[in-house]
Amino acid sequence: MDFQKNYQSWLESAYVDAQTREELQAIADDKKEIEERFYKDLEFGTGGMRGIIGAGTNRMNRYVIRKASQGFARYILERNARTEPAIVIAYDTRRFSKVFALEAALVMAANGIKAYTYEGVRTTPELSFAVRHLNASAGIVITASHNPPEYNGYKVYGEDGCQLVPEEADKVIEAVVAVKSFEDVSYMEQAEAEAKGLLQIVPEAVDEAYIKGVIAKTCTPSLFSNAPEGFKVVFTPLHGTGGRPVVNALNALDFKGLIPVQEQMVEDSEFTTIKLPNPEEMIAYERAVAYAEQYGATAAIATDPDCDRVGVVVRDDMGQYIKLTGNQTGGLLLDYMISQLRELPKNPVILDTIVTSDFGAAIAKKHGIEVVSTLTGFKFIGEKIRQYEDGSKSFLFGYEESYGYLIGTDVRDKDAVISTVWIIEMLMYYYARKQSLLDRLDALYREYGYHYESLVNLKREGKDGMAQIAEIMSNARNDRMESVAGLKAVKITDFENDDTGLPKSDVVKYELEGGTWFAIRPSGTEPKLKIYVSSVAASNQEAQTRADAVAKEVQERLVPAV
């Protein structure tokens, strides 16, 4: 793409508002900045489209939203079988989220697609639920999930409430690319859309039905109303969308032990009291841990801004709060679920991903439950659930290492509302037995081996960063290592070129002797490269030493110094 030409066309277009034009004029002498903003269109990645907010084709702004929505509208109309096509659009607490949601809705309306939006913020799982509940043709969430505040994004959903898988997303992209100019986008004023019934608010009954579903899926609801004496748990939605539904669900269960981090219950696009609103990072729990210490809470739980991820820190014997990994929480939830089921359904299956550790899988297999691994991205888990609707398998549980879990099939994306409720139930169950989640984890490790994993995130931003990531991936692909950290490579899978039965994906996985493995892939949501390492051994120490050695050597051998 000719970035200067793109830049000029934006600058001169009558469609571009004065403020955007000013923003563009201000960078007139900054060629690098113009290039970054205009050298390509913002792409669809693991979780839809995600980018830095600002003017440009490679940025998140109302024009990029309109163009994407025009393409998405054409895609919906082409494959829609309904007489009245409809879309549900939710938004989180980020900068411009509400504005972008309305922009998307007005483009949909102009294309004759009834757009349901919300008066306030909603979580990603609520959107997934609403698409199904309203029998809509599609859905959108305006969110950049846990990214820093300067980001926003656009997640796209099909009629089953699942994010579009690449095959479908490619068709949307094709339709978006076909939108060549600002004039090519249909747009309707809000008043007209409302008058024509093409812009509507999602009825409150949908939120209520969602909460009912969450409550119905608890194992022992009386545990909440009869919480063990002294049990307290801290909760923070990290200034995002999770506060309302989590508190509503727990209130409906008559649970009294919840201590919300008051200042983080406030919706805030700047995430003022947190350095990074990502429950994967310990830094996100600073306030929550302070509350937990003050109130003597057993654990503190944090959901990300669009409330599809959830993390938990648990108090150990020394009074320290230890963060569980997504793999650990996933394994614990699965173990708890199995312990509470009277009997397993026919052909039970759990879904994880190729970068999820083997911990949960070991538990599942021991109980005769099949484990199916998909590519990274919860959409692949949602896709499988739909396939199993033919009765071939019974879906029990889906999870991935990046703090995403799903129980039940009302929602087809990871759901941090129901997961939070389940984590609290599980915490109480063990608390009543004088155990912590760490005790249970240790018992499981003794049974299934000590599983240890680490994740190395290498930040590489901008156009140059992308090139560096591509180089590292090519090293991983082409310079095959016979052994890593003294462990022989027993299997190397290149998910881009080998026949794996899964869609092609830019991932390379090395399975080493003794159950250790590492996988390397570019993030599809942030400008970084991810190296996942997983090991299992007879002791925690041994497993950790092995994983750390692998992580170190992989970086030394594949990543050029910057």
Ligand X SMILES: O=P([O-])(O)O[C@H]1O[C@H](COP(=O)(O)O)[C@@H](O)[C@H](O)[C@H]1O
Cα angle for residues 120, 122, 125 (degrees, 5° grid): 165
Q: Which two tokens stand for residue 200?
A: 């509507």
How many residues are recorded in the chain?
562
Residue 400 makes contact with ligand X by CB under 6 A? yes
Q: Which two tokens stand for residue 488?
A: 């022989």
The C-alpha atoms of residue 313 and residue 116 are separated, in whole angstroms, by 37
Neighbours of 540 (CB within 10 A): 13
Q: Interaction with Mg ion in 162-221: which residues (CB under 5 A)?
A: none
* Residue 41 C-beta: closest distance to ligand X, Å: 19
378 binds, among ligand X, Mg ion, none (CB under 5 to 8 A by kind): ligand X
Shorter beta-carbon distance to ligand X: residue 35 or 494: 494
The C-alpha atoms of residue 412 and residue 86 are separated, in whole angstroms, by 18
Residue 402 makes contact with ligand X by CB under 6 A? yes
Task: Give the position of tokens 């549980």.
Answer: 397
Non-local (6+) Cβ contacts of 412 within 8 A are: 128, 132, 157, 160, 161, 162, 382, 385, 386, 406
* Residue 404 C-beta: closest distance to Mg ion, Å: 8
Out of 46, 328, 374, 436, name the contact with ligand X by CB under 6 A: 46
List helix spans (H) across 253-308: 262-265, 286-295
Closest CA to 88 of 68, 47, 118: 118
Q: Stretches 182-190, 399-407, 470-478, 486-494: which one binds ligand X (CB under 6 A)?
A: 399-407
C-alpha distances (whole Å) from 180 to each of 12, 79, 149, 183 are 16, 22, 30, 8
Instruction: Pick the catalytic residue from 69, 128, 137, 145.
Output: 145
Q: Stretches 88-96, 140-148, 227-235, 362-370: which one binds Mg ion (CB under 5 A)?
A: 140-148
Neighbours of 160 (CB within 10 A): 16
Q: Interaction with ligand X in 333-372: which residues (CB under 6 A)?
A: none
Residue 145 makes contact with Mg ion by CB under 5 A? yes
Backbone φ and ψ of 416, nearest 5°: -85, -10
Residue 91 makes contact with ligand X by CB under 6 A? no
Out of 378, 395, 397, 450, name the contact with ligand X by CB under 6 A: 378
What is residue 384's DSSP assignment? H
Shorter beta-carbon distance to ligand X: residue 67 or 309: 309
Task: Give the position of tokens 């739980």.
Answer: 301
Task: Give the position of tokens 């995600």.
Answer: 50
524 binds, among Mg ion, ligand X, none (CB under 5 to 8 A by kind): ligand X
* Per-residue mark of binding to Mg ion, 292-331 (x: CB under 5 A): ------------x-x-xx----------------------
Using DSSP, state whether 350 is helix, strand or coil: strand
Cα angle for residues 312, 234, 437 (degrees, 5° grid): 40
Shorter beta-carbon distance to Mg ion: residue 85 or 527: 527
Shorter beta-carbon distance to ligand X: residue 146 or 232: 146
* Residue 146 C-beta: closest distance to ligand X, Å: 6
Using DSSP, state whether 532 is helix, strand or coil: strand
383 binds, among Mg ion, ligand X, none (CB under 5 to 8 A by kind): none
Residue 269: active-site member = no
C-alpha distances (whole Å) from 17 to each of 13, 20, 160, 467, 522 are 9, 6, 36, 33, 35
R_g of the chain, CA atoms, integer Å: 24
Shorter beta-carbon distance to ligand X: residue 156 or 198: 156
137 binds, among ligand X, Mg ion, none (CB under 5 to 8 A by kind): none
Residue 493 makes contact with Mg ion by CB under 5 A? no
* Residue 146 C-beta: closest distance to Mg ion, Å: 5
* Residue 220 C-beta: closest distance to ligand X, Å: 29
Backbone φ and ψ of 530, nearest 5°: -115, 130
* Per-residue mark of binding to ligand X, 271-310 (x: CB under 6 A): ---------------------------------x---xx-
Total of residues contacting ligand X (CB under 6 A): 18
Shorter beta-carbon distance to ligand X: residue 85 or 242: 242
Shortest-Cβ-distance residue relative to Mg ion: 145
* Per-residue mark of binding to ligand X, 514-543 (x: CB under 6 A): ---------xxxx---x-------------
C-alpha distances (whole Å) from 224 to each of 19, 191, 233, 327, 541 are 51, 46, 12, 25, 37
Shorter beta-carbon distance to Mg ion: residue 269 or 394: 269
Are residues 382 and 159 in contact, defined by beta-carbon separation less than 8 angstroms? no
* Residue 163 C-beta: closest distance to ligand X, Å: 7
Out of 20, 58, 145, 419, name the contact with ligand X by CB under 6 A: 145
Using DSSP, state whether 11 is helix, strand or coil: helix
117 binds, among ligand X, Mg ion, none (CB under 5 to 8 A by kind): none
Q: Which amino acid is at 469?
A: I
Q: Which two tokens stand for residue 256?
A: 């009294």
The C-alpha atoms of residue 74 and residue 415 are separated, in whole angstroms, by 29
Out of 38, 47, 310, 520, name the contact with ligand X by CB under 6 A: 47
Shorter beta-carbon distance to Mg ion: residue 304 or 415: 304
Q: Interaction with ligand X in 57-76: which residues (CB under 6 A)?
A: none
Shorter beta-carbon distance to ligand X: residue 36 or 280: 280
Task: Cite the active site residues.
Answer: 145
Return residues touching Mg ion (CB under 5 A): 145, 304, 306, 308-309
Residues that bind ligand X (CB under 6 A): 46-47, 145-146, 304, 308-309, 376-378, 400, 402, 404, 523-526, 530
